[in-house]
Amino acid sequence: MQEPGTPVSYDVHGVQEKWLPVWDQIAPFRSGRADDPRPKKYVLDMFPYPSGDLHMGHAEAYALGDVIARYWVQRGFNVMHPIAWDAFGLPAENAAIKRNSDPGEWTYENIAVQKASMRRYACSFDWDRTFNTCDPEYYKWNQWIFLQLFKKGLAYRKASAVNWCPDCQTVLANEQVVAGACERCDTIVTKKKLTQWYFKITDYADRLLDDMQSLEGQWPEKVLQMQRNWIGKSVGAEVTFEIEGRDKPVTIYTTRPDTLYGATFFVVAADSELAAELAGSSPVKAEFSKYLEEVKAISDIERLSLERPKTGIFLQRYAINPVNGEKLQIWASDYVLSDYGTGAIMAVPAHDQRDLDFAKTMDLPIRTVVESDLEDPAVTGIATPGDGKLINSGSLNGLSKSEAINKIIAELKEQKLGEAATNYRLRDWLISRQRYWGTPIPIIHCESCGEVAVPEDQLPVKLPSSAGLDLKPKGISPLAGATDWVNVACPQCGKPALRDTDTMDTFVDSSWYFLRYVSPKLEDRAFDLEAVKTWLPVDQYVGGVTHAILHLLYSRFFTKVLHDLGYLDFTEPFARLLNQGMVVMDGSAMSKSRGNLVRLSDELNVHGVDAIRLTMVFAGPPEDDVDWSDVSPAGSVKFLARAWRLSGDVTSAVGTDPSTGDLELRRATHKALHDAGFAVESFRFNVAVARIMELVNAARKAIDSGPGSNDPAVREAVEAIAIMLSLIAPYTAEEMWERLGHKPAVALAGWPTVDPSLVKVQSVTCVVQVLGKIKARLEVDPEITDAELEKMALADPAMVEALAGANIIKIITRAPKLVNVVTT
């Protein structure tokens, strides 16, 4: 039982119940009223996939995003901080198959659960701007964008060997294959020859690469690096080789045209058409077919193994080296990839390790054409890849690598035998999926007209009801079973035609959702052009590094395409990016199977929302992983209660002028406001928390053993604490604000103006050293000059003693912090 008169203890759950309905009323984070005079800022969290309730990862990401959004609101900005749901995708479909129900049912249930959790988690989202990508009102615009790309020739269909997940029974983009396995289910990915839709992202490879310069310093270097890697630009030359007994020559790609004289054989990708053709008229045709079968049977996993010995087959055909007329054996091998460059290479074993391995295995000649200090590759088995003087290379002899490259390219060009060329690792984006729960591709296949775009006024092409459809994966889209839906009249000739039955990769949905927020309910356009001009590009994007390549690259691509189509006046969607780390447990990622799963709902029930948010923010730098076994949510509760108690101790009246208050505490308050603000702006949220903690300690001390609870400076300090805490612990902050005599919402109280004269340091401790060893400390004015300081230091008794009889060579003075005397 509480004794009457004893202070009530801080009730973490009570404050949540108390303030939620009040905030619903005030809606402090509604953005974008036309008459809002505040400057604008767009703070964006990556939207969630509604796979269930929110988990610890969401809790971290949204806590960090919220600090940023709430900070800018306090700083007087009109912040748009929206949320929506990335609601198409396989988990819903798999759940529907299991439960024999509709994927939408499962999806919307989860969205409702997540939405309620976000509200309770006190995310400062603008709830007027939500949408779900699985709503026809949204995916209509996926289809519209698809059609714009189609018209521009940026969406096209081609047949090729694609990544196929036997478990998901659908194709995958290159980006969704991780180490030869399906990103989602870890099944080994196989190859399958299919006709599929692609977006021509390769047309934008150079711009995707070059425009990253403008993101330098604004995005994590790691992400930029990963994108550069993924695009994989390489500069070299294409060289044409005549083939004996073939009319047309063959072009190869090389980054080292300078080593052309070192080519001793020629290799074509085993699975290329060229290989089949060359083998077709050679005596080894049967042998080649057998080899090709073997190659196809090898999974990507095996291909990735570095130890695997080189294999191949001599096709009994010859290529002619254009620079010296040498006959080069043509081999077929799987170490040359059919879909990179031209699928054929000149092999220079002395200076390329892979070629050397092959030459050693097949006993082919090796000729050194670049001089080096290293031992002969033919002997050591180690290729010499570096720079050096060219030898055995005709007109190139004596030149350096770069000189030789320039010269040979010029010579080849003159003789129309080759030219400079660029290649990319990036492939076009395969967007077809053979599954139900996605955006239907708005194309009609007509026997006479071919691929016909669904007229824009007929959008959206709505998904047919899943009732009666077999959603089980079987390699063709479930939509093919919706007979009534599939059979339509051709929009061009009116003859019977068929709808495309594939759905789009869900990464299409997320490649432009940040544009939809500006006008989420707009019916006749994907986004309002004026509103886009107002809000975009996104000022601050927050999300996990897991999307460093896929989502961010695709979004950048879409932005550039929409820019080129005249809809956007910018070319990069996200001005600044913050990647938060993961929440792990005992050093490893949480998972049910590992038995180290921490449930967010449990943590919230025990410690309350504020303490969990604080724990996430305080754990360390945001980009580092949070190990839940290293942090102390209980400690966070203690701190919040400590801060809360301060609000009950303030005895001065609301509106008390702080200027007559205790100077020391006032300085601490203004320093904290200054430093915490700076820390937030530089994403050092953990440091910002530390500054708040310091001020809490200082206020406690002032009340207990300083000027006392009635000092105006105490009120000023505690109000500042409430406002700073409102970024991180909104319930506690609101409760403090009320106890201090204010009306809600503290979120809109505004960041107090920092008084520069209070932040200015009054005196500085100057360290006085001899040979780097501290001999004395001086309290000096921060404005002191070097000369004054030096004089003061040398006059100090300790220095006089230390320097007695010493030979002074030099005095280094860095006012106001240091004097260092160098002696012999």
Structure tokens at 295: 């190659």
Closest by Cα among 313, 393, 397, 301 to 358: 313
Out of 222, 462, 525, 760, the residue judged to bind RNA by CB under 7 A: 222
Under rule CB under 7 A, residue 279 binds RNA: no
Instruction: Give the DSSP H/E element, type plus range, for residue 617.
Output: helix 609-618
Among 78, 176, 254, 506, binds RNA (CB under 7 A): 254
CA distance 667 to 755: 9
| Segment 712 to 771, residues that bind RNA, using CB under 7 A | 765, 767, 769, 771
Among 186, 221, 376, 447, binds RNA (CB under 7 A): 221
User: Where in 410-449 is the site for RNA (CB under 7 A)?
Assistant: 423, 425
The distance of closest approach from Cβ of residue 155 to RNA in the complex, given in angstroms and rounded to an integer, is 23
467 preceded by a cis bond (ω within 30 of 0): no
**In the complex, what is the shortest distance from the CB of residue 617 to RNA, in angstroms, rounded to a whole number?**
12
- 308 is a contact residue toward RNA (CB under 7 A): yes
Contact, 326 vs 320, CB < 8 A? Answer: yes
Nearest distance in Å: CB 693, RNA: 4
Q: Give the whole-angstrom CA distance, residue 191 versus residue 573.
A: 34
Which 471-510 residues touch RNA, going by CB under 7 A?
A: none
Residue 255 near RNA by CB under 7 A: yes
Beta-sheet strands, E only, within 479-604: 487-489, 496-499, 503-504, 540-544, 577-580, 583-585, 588-589
SS3 content of the chain, % helix, strand, coil (to 5): 40, 20, 40
Nearer to RNA, 656 or 769 (CB): 769
Q: Which is nearer to RNA, 413 or 817 (CB)?
A: 817
> Least distance (Å) from RNA to the CB of residue 822?
5
- Is residue 306 a contact residue for RNA (CB under 7 A)? yes
* Binding positions for RNA, 325-354, rule CB under 7 A: 334-337, 340-341, 343, 345, 348, 352, 354
Report the relative pairing of strands 450-453 and 443-446 from DSSP bridges. antiparallel
- Please tell me whether residue 2 binds RNA under the rule CB under 7 A: no
Choice from 419, 694, 786, 796 touching RNA (CB under 7 A)? 694
Query: Does the footprint of RNA cover residue 81 (CB under 7 A)?
Result: no
Out of 42, 62, 138, 253, which residue is the one contacting RNA (CB under 7 A)? 253
According to DSSP, the residues that pair with 593 across neighbouring strands are none
Nearer to RNA, 226 or 794 (CB): 226
CB of 288 to RNA, least distance (A): 17
Which DSSP letter does residue 451 get?
E
State which of positions 5-24 bind RNA (CB under 7 A). 9
Which range in 15-23, 229-237, 555-563, 738-746 contacts RNA by CB under 7 A? 229-237
Nearer to RNA, 132 or 227 (CB): 227
Using CA atoms, how far apart are residues 546 and 542, in angstroms rounded to an integer? 12
Nearer to RNA, 429 or 639 (CB): 639
Give the angle 152-158-161 at the CA atoms, nearest 5°: 145
Q: What tokens were used for 327?
A: 């006959």
Distance CA 718, CA 711 (A): 11
CB 77 within 8 A of CB 40: yes
Q: Where are the alpha helices (DSSP H) in 46-121?
A: 56-74, 90-99, 103-120
Q: How many CA atoms lie within 13 A of 655 on its CB side?
A: 1
386-406: buried (b, 16+ CB within 10 Å) or exposed (e) per residue?
eebbbeebeebeebebeebbe
Q: How far is the CB of 700 from RNA (least distance, A)?
A: 5
In the list 687, 758, 792, 798, the residue contacting RNA (rule: CB under 7 A) is 687
Question: Taking contact as CB under 7 A, which single stretch among the options 24-32, 71-79, 196-204, 228-236 is the one that binds RNA?
Answer: 228-236
Minimum distance from residue 475 beta carbon to RNA (Å): 25
Determine the interface stretch with RNA among 64-72, 115-123, 731-739, 807-815 (rule: CB under 7 A).
807-815
Nearer to RNA, 269 or 717 (CB): 269
In whole angstroms, give the CA distance from residue 366 to residue 292: 26
Do the Cβ atoms of 197 and 505 come closer than 8 Å? no
Write the DSSP assignment of 554-619 as a string of letters: HHHHHHHHHHHTTS-S-S-SBS-EEEE--EEETTEE--TTTT----HHHHHHHH-HHHHHHHHHHS
Instruction: Rank residues 654 and 774 by Cβ distance to RNA and give the closer one.
Output: 774
Q: Give yes or no for a contact between 349 and 310, defined as CB atoms under 8 angstroms apart.
A: no
71 and 616 Cβ atoms separated by less than 8 Å: no
Candidate ranges 12-20, 55-63, 232-240, 468-476; the one touching RNA (CB under 7 A):
232-240
Contact window for RNA (CB under 7 A) among 91-99, 503-511, 747-755, 810-818: 810-818
Q: How many residues bind RNA (CB under 7 A)?
A: 79
Nearer to RNA, 269 or 578 (CB): 269
Looking at 391, 449, 522, 818, which residue binds RNA (CB under 7 A)? 818
**C-alpha 353 chain-centroid distance:** 34
Query: Does residue 303 bind RNA (CB under 7 A)?
Result: yes
Q: Which stretch binds RNA (CB under 7 A): 28-36, 79-87, 208-216, 223-231?
A: 223-231
Site stretch for RNA (CB under 7 A), options 31-39, 115-123, 684-692, 736-744: 684-692
Binders of RNA in range 516-575 (CB under 7 A): 545, 549
Q: Rounded to 10 degrees, what is the CA torsion of 740, 741, 745, 749?
A: -70
Residues 616-635, interacting with RNA (CB under 7 A) = 618-621, 624, 627, 630-632, 634-635
Q: How far apart are CA 759 and CA 385, in angstroms?
A: 59
Radius of gyration of the chain (CA): 34
From 774, 787, 795, 800, residue interacting with RNA (rule: CB under 7 A):
774
Q: Mention every residue, 6+ apart, whose C-beta is less than 8 A from residue 292.
A: 270, 271, 275, 276, 332
